[in-house]
Amino acid sequence: MSTNSTSNPISLLDKISSNDNFLIVQDVDGVCIPLVKDPLCREITLTYIESVRKMNGHFFILTNGEHGGERGLNKVIERAYIKSNKQCDNCFYLPGLAAGGIEFQDEFGQISFPGISKKELMFLSQVPKEMATLLGKGLERILPDLNTIELKNLTNSSILDTRFSPTINLNKIFSCIPNDLRRQVEIQLETERVMSKIIDYAVQEDLASSFFLHIAPNLGVSSNGKDIIKTAQKGDVGTTDIQLMISGSIKEAGLLVLINKYVQRKFGRYPFGKDFNARKAPRSMNELISICKEEILPTEMPILIGVGDTVTSTRNQQDNGWLRGGSDRGFLTLIQELGKEFKKQNIVLLVDSSKGEVDRPNLEDHQLKGITDPEDQLRFTSLFIGGPDSYMKWFKELANRKGNSYSDKKK
């Protein structure tokens, strides 16, 4: 068991709310939005959004999803206002980084994406059409019972044409074959082939160093630096998304961008420089820690509270070791290690996202099988076994204790 669960979530409220130098860095889907098979059906509560407003600069999101666009988080937020019969001309948006660390947004919905070239943006705009063509051919072979219209609709609903991270999402496809592990695995491997072909196209456009594939959930990173696909098995659907990501858009790098912004807001200076972005950050965990130690004073470094839901660990049958991955593992581990280096009581929280519509390992198993292992470096301070609902209830209580609010005046 790799969990320091001596602290339950309630016992942490006093510790956090009594401190004025802390920063919550939180994933989104599976944490404050229950996982759903159709990303267009995601819902967020207005109560949660208003709780974030009260955190007064002590909160950022860090997600592989995106802020803008029809499939972005901002549309989900706007629907929450409309559902509550409130005007959205002065909506409060979730501040922080999306697209893995590339797309920054403040609480007023002002978006920036420094470090991305026009050529990269042009290539990204053309990718969804190519993805649909390639995926459609694969699905036609694997799912021969579908007619032309059904195949086209299923393909189109599985292509997420987001601006910075076009994605193939497999939840809708898996819902057509819920108990067919063989074909689920076949579709996962076919999707990986499709997205690898997109990388080949990038190479042909002299953009070889511009992109990489992010597989979620994954089994960690192979020796050649590529995410390892997690194939479906009974009780765990495994990989559901493969994204084309812009190089540098990893959550660990994004964490440093958010710390840089937090320190400037609280102490008046950017420790890594005003123009620092995820693409300028180091890549390795040791280098990320080193730059923090070099540039941030111990009095400036906040207590970091990391919140995620996607962490994996699976036995490697080849060498009897462990394959560890998950979209949130990296930034949660970095938060843990920065706590050690700066002698801060950093907090790592894990939310049970199996409560949604996607089949995943749950936290009710005290061994956390499929999530962690006895030799895992990453240790969780506390678990939200009740899923997003229990986390949001806890977060609301924390926000009420802080009792502050962002200014309603736009910059």
Between CA 258 and CA 89 the distance in angstroms is 26
Instruction: Tell me the residue length of the chain.
Output: 411
Among residues 103, 120, 121, which one has the least CA distance to residue 112?
103
| Residue 260 near residue 301 (C-beta atoms within 8 A) | no
Alpha-carbon gap, residue 63 to 103, rounded angstroms: 10
Distance CA 314, CA 86 (A): 46
Task: Provide φ and ψ at 142, rounded to 5°.
Answer: -80, -30
Residue of 369, 327, 411 lying closest to 101 (CA atoms): 327
Distance CA 305, CA 335 (A): 8
Q: How many angstroms separate the CA atoms of 129 and 121, rounded?
A: 15
Which residues, in sequence order, are CB contacts of 231 under 8 Å at separation 6+? 184, 185, 188, 189, 238, 239
* Residues known to be catalytic: 389
What value, to the nearest 5°, has the Cα angle with vertex 236 and ends 235 and 238?
A: 160
